[in-house]
Structure 1
Amino acid sequence: MKKRMMAGLFAVAAMALVACSTASPGGSPDLALSVDPVLSTKYGAVRGKREGDSKSVAVFRGIRYAASTQGRRFQRAIEPAAWTGVADGTQFGSECPQRPSEDIPVFASWVNSVGMSEDCLFLNVWTRGLGDGKKRPIMVWLHGGGYVTGSGSSNGYDGSRLAERGDVVVVTLNHRLNGFGYSYLAGLTDDPKYADAGNLGSLDIVQALQWVQSHAQAIGGDAGNVTIFGESGGAAKVATLMAMEDAQGLFHRAIAQSGSMSLAGFDPRLATGLAKDLMNTAKVQSVDELAAMPMEDLVKAMMASRSRAAFFRPVVDGRSLTRHPYTPDATPVSANIPLLVGTNNNEMRLQGGLGQPGNFSLGWEELPAKLAEYVDKENIQAVIDGMRAAHPGYDASDVFFQVATFRNYRGTALLQAERKGAQPAPVYMYRLDWKTPVEGGRLQTPHALDIAFVFDNVARSISFTGPETPATKRMAVLMADAWIAFARTGNPNTPALPLWPAYGVGNRATMIFDLQPQVVVDPDKAERELLQRLLPEGRSQ
């Protein structure tokens, strides 16, 4: 009882601090902005700092939304214990366990590693108001890295400029990844505590969204207007959440950037085989032993296993995920959720180019073997002939990158839009065409380039977008404002853009983001019709 009373007193004190650190109508804004902001959560108070060009954005990093999973591996997260005093909210929390990241030069500006731990369920908030009665749209970002790597602490995801620009609340978060978050164990043990192990990462996100709902008023947001958005694996997580009944009512709009690959999840049979292989590689006899391994040893076992610590996906387990999100049609769970979806024009020039530089200078005789990863053998020549007819100016490398881009990104985005378009809520389609000058221009419009513009963070992204220029600033204005408009109303139209109609198979209206944005009906129609007919559904592995 005494402990609860003390926690209550600290909460009251924190609310007083919040009142002091937020300008009242008759108070002095300058005085308010000179005081560190304090956020009162239902678990305890958190002190942050003020950032942004005007220093008007209250930023809280490393807010605990769930208890540590250390000692509870492969089990659903639980609420954190309340704390006394005012916790430090100026540093990001630990990243969730994952394999080491490769050094990719274009990402250098964004790198912000803070170390790994199984105590990693933290979120971060950027807001211009604390408990001020305003109902700002809340934009919850889901990081990329597939379901295997990444965190919400990348410099590219800094929400200060987006929060300041649109007077929105921005939230980023960490959740469990790879085998820690997506090992389906129900086929290997009857222990009920492991029943949800195949979808823990997604359930962590649900718990973070529940935190957002509970604290919307405290962070100056609108609990009835939450947008989930993400890029690459983050967009896949958006698609998965759209099919999860546990997530219903926790978000109201969705944005999928370059990652509509979760049209389908793993089935239990495949997922059980991967979990069994992990146990064999780890040389353990039981799930309990796997759960008790040191974190570092489990990461090494995953890297040595068939999955290579990279082949994990949500599982249609009949519990938290009862059907595939977008196969064979769009999930009815989110039929009334508006969707903004799209890709970059040359996604695979990043993964298929920087990782394999020879692909930038392919000869026609090399192309069939290169396409074998993306095209069924009997269709390779027809794909090459069709692409050359659709794009007479393409060389062999151009054909390779565009076919790979369509297979892994554009094709699944189109399928998601087509299937979602059969439901009541509108769908808006885009494609980013602006070309980055880095790497001598050979990347053109690669995977992840959009992040710098959506967050209005070109100054933090010079390794990817090049020096900050009027051109990069304009791209940020165009995309960030469209994302803010969509979060606010479910419609991405802004005064700076031409009229952007909703997407449907009858018009296929697509916003082309470039210095002079334009709406094009069915861009690259010949390519789309060719590749939708000849490529397998879904992305390559």
Structure 2
Amino acid sequence: MYVQAETPAGAVLGRRDSFGELYRAIPYAAAPAGPARFRAPAPHPGWSGVRDATRPSPTAPQPVRDFGALDMSPYFGPGWVRGEEYLTVDVRTPAADDGRRPVLVFVHGGGFVTGSTRAALYDGRAFARDGVVLVTVNYRLGVPGFLDIDGVPPNRGLLDVLAALGWVRDTIAVFGGDPDEVTVFGQSAGATLTGALLATPEASGLFRRAIVQSGSGTGAFTPEQAGRVTVAAASALGVEPTAEAFGKVPDERFLAILPALAGLDLRTETASDPLAGLSPFSLVLPVQPADSLVARDVDLLIGTNTEEGNLYGVANSDELGHTLFGAGTARMAQAHARIPGGRTYAYSFGYRSTALGGRLGAAHTVELPFVFDVAGEPWLHGDAGLLGPDPAPEGLAARMHGAWVAFAKTGSPGWAEYDAVEFFG
């Protein structure tokens, strides 16, 4: 059945089912169209009448990523679904009433170039079932989101996430959520963005807790590294490396040059490539988030999977996983544990998927079906499914999802606080 909620920007029409209510494609900022693609997010002007929030949002411009025999579409979603107004959130809530329920805000992964709220893995039914409001966020990707250009704000994708958190603060009570009990969580690139929020003064007061799943507190490019990507992008496009020139380029051309940016040598005298060549885009910061934390009284749950690098099918998968996720996660956990106020919890996820003849194992992304309690869905199984042909272990999804819910509600996932010696030696 249809339901309606009144937000400060206007009324929205959603749907009610047996799990609660779902509202999709609600704008949290104005459309990043034309030159606005390279500006900070601007407030949405609102609308008259009732906005249809029953259909999914357009997505940020993005390429199609191929993982061979492994079906990663539940993770990446459908790719680029065109439409200018894609700075939106989806809200899954038990009810849009005057309840004061804890809120989880999810920031998707995808190497800073892909992903969206349309990905099947991010279904929020289980969170609503368990009394939590789930908000999933679209943000700018690739060149519009993260290319470092003189004269325009850097890290525009991160600014989008900040704007979405501001929307949550101002609006989530309409959907039965408590703006004082917000947990922001992300996976992969989304986890790196989440960790960066802990080092962003403007994020103060927007959330009480954070969960960093397979991200890195040391995943940012230096300005020198980012400058190399900008020069390469301008060269591939045949334009000057200026905001004016990039602003005239259509999104299709930004996607077309991505292969030319792959494999750039970003090593400098002072920094290695934190993404090991897997993406030409990341945050651009003079100091890594793990070395510049400013958040106080924010609880953190942080961890990795035991075989992260297996997703990428390389011979040195253990080394790659440590470089991309393990080392930066350890540094972030250690740094946060030294800050007074907030508690620090760590986890290590070790369930081995039987996909790819058992070779996938406890790879990057394998924890997500258990966090969202969708591990039994048939589209995650079979020869090409992320979890492989075998059924998921009984009770694992309930345990992991339950820990995330408990953390959102109480600040504790149900185990002892972080011990650096126990987790990282």
Normalized against structure 1, the TM-score is what? 0.70
Partner of 1:443: 360
Question: How far apart, in 2, do the equivalents of 1:438 and 1:183 lie?
Answer: 35
One-letter code of the match for 1:76? Answer: A
Partner of 1:66: 29
Matching of residues 32-47 of structure 1 within 5 Å: 35-47=1-13
1:231–1:256 Cα contact (<8 Å) kept: yes
Structure 2 unmatched ranges of 5 or more = 265-277
- 1:38 deviates by 1.1
- 1:270 deviates by 2.8
Partner of 1:76: 40
Structure 1 unmatched ranges of 5 or more = 1-34, 318-322, 360-399, 494-499, 509-520, 523-527, 530-541
Matched, 1:158 2:123: yes
One-letter code of the match for 1:281? Answer: A
Partner of 2:238: 283
- Residue 334 of structure 1 aligns to a residue whose secondary structure is coil
1:459–1:467 Cα contact (<8 Å) kept: no
1:95–1:117 Cα contact (<8 Å) kept: yes
Partner of 1:7: none
1:74–1:200 Cα contact (<8 Å) kept: yes
Matching of residues 100-111 of structure 1 within 5 Å: 100-104=64-68, 105-110=70-75
Matched, 1:134 2:134: no
2:354–2:390 Cα contact (<8 Å) kept: no
One-letter code of the match for 1:86? Answer: V
Question: How far apart, in 2, do the equivalents of 1:443 and 1:432 lie?
Answer: 14
Q: Which of 229, 247, 257 is the aligned partner of 1:274?
A: 229
Give the number of equivalent residue pairs.
402
Distance 1:350 1:98, change over 3 A: same
1:348–1:401 Cα contact (<8 Å) kept: yes
Q: Which of 165, 169, 188 is the aligned partner of 1:213?
A: 169
Matched, 1:502 2:413: no
- 1:117 deviates by 4.1
Deviates more, 1:94-103 or 1:290-299: 94-103
Partner of 2:148: 184
Partner of 1:292: 248
Question: How far apart, in 1, do the equivalents of 2:51 and 2:101 lie?
Answer: 25
Deviation readout 1:189-226 (Å, 9 max, x if unpaired): 4xxxx2x1x21100000101111111121010110010
- 1:147 deviates by 1.8
Of Structure 1 and Structure 2, the greater helix share is in: 1
One-letter code of the match for 1:485? Answer: A
Matching of residues 420-431 of structure 1 within 5 Å: 420-424=336-340, 425-431=342-348
Deviation readout 1:260-293 (Å, 9 max, x if unpaired): 2x42533333323322332222112343121011
Higher RCO (CA 8 Å, separation ≥ 6 residues): 2
Question: How far apart, in 1, do the equivalents of 2:116 and 2:263 lie?
Answer: 20
1:159–1:455 Cα contact (<8 Å) kept: yes
- Residue 48 of structure 1 aligns to a residue whose secondary structure is strand
- 1:324 deviates by 2.8
One-letter code of the match for 1:242? Answer: L
Question: How far apart, in 2, do the equivalents of 1:116 and 1:302 lie?
Answer: 18
Distance 1:438 1:100, change over 3 A: closer
Partner of 1:339: 300
Distance 1:111 1:468, change over 3 A: farther
Distance 1:184 1:479, change over 3 A: same
Question: How far apart, in 2, do the equivalents of 1:403 and 1:246 lie?
Answer: 35
Alignment RMSD (CA, Å):
2.1
Distance 1:62 1:468, change over 3 A: farther
Question: How far apart, in 2, do the equivalents of 1:183 and 1:112 lie?
Answer: 23
- Residue 60 of structure 2 aligns to a residue whose secondary structure is coil
Matching of residues 327-476 of structure 1 within 5 Å: 327=291, 331=293, 333-351=294-312, 353=313, 356=314, 359=315, 400-424=316-340, 425-460=342-377, 461-462=380-381, 463-466=385-388, 469=391, 471-476=392-397
- Residue 5 of structure 2 aligns to a residue whose secondary structure is strand
Normalized against structure 2, the TM-score is what? 0.89
Partner of 2:267: none
One-letter code of the match for 1:121? Answer: L
One-letter code of the match for 2:7? Answer: T
Question: How far apart, in 2, do the equivalents of 1:411 and 1:278 lie?
Answer: 29
Partner of 2:273: none
Partner of 2:271: none
- Residue 85 of structure 2 aligns to a residue whose secondary structure is coil
- 1:467 deviates by 6.0
- 1:176 deviates by 0.5
Partner of 2:138: 174
Deviates more, 1:140-149 or 1:285-294: 285-294
Question: How far apart, in 2, do the equivalents of 1:316 and 1:437 lie?
Answer: 38
- 1:421 deviates by 1.1
- 1:473 deviates by 4.3
Distance 1:264 1:280, change over 3 A: same
Deviates more, 1:107-116 or 1:482-491: 107-116
Question: How far apart, in 1, do the equivalents of 2:366 and 2:262 lie?
Answer: 31
Question: How far apart, in 2, do the equivalents of 1:139 and 1:209 lie?
Answer: 11
Question: How far apart, in 2, do the equivalents of 1:468 and 1:167 lie?
Answer: 30
Question: How far apart, in 1, do the equivalents of 2:335 and 2:139 lie?
Answer: 28
- Residue 178 of structure 2 aligns to a residue whose secondary structure is strand
One-letter code of the match for 1:297? Answer: R
Deviation readout 1:489-537 (Å, 9 max, x if unpaired): 11111xxxxxx211133xx4xxxxxxxxxxxx44xxxxx55xxxxxxxx
One-letter code of the match for 1:419? Answer: A
One-letter code of the match for 1:248? Answer: S
One-letter code of the match for 1:426? Answer: R
1:274–1:307 Cα contact (<8 Å) kept: no
Question: How far apart, in 2, do the equivalents of 1:447 and 1:74 lie?
Answer: 31
One-letter code of the match for 1:251? Answer: F
Distance 1:265 1:297, change over 3 A: same
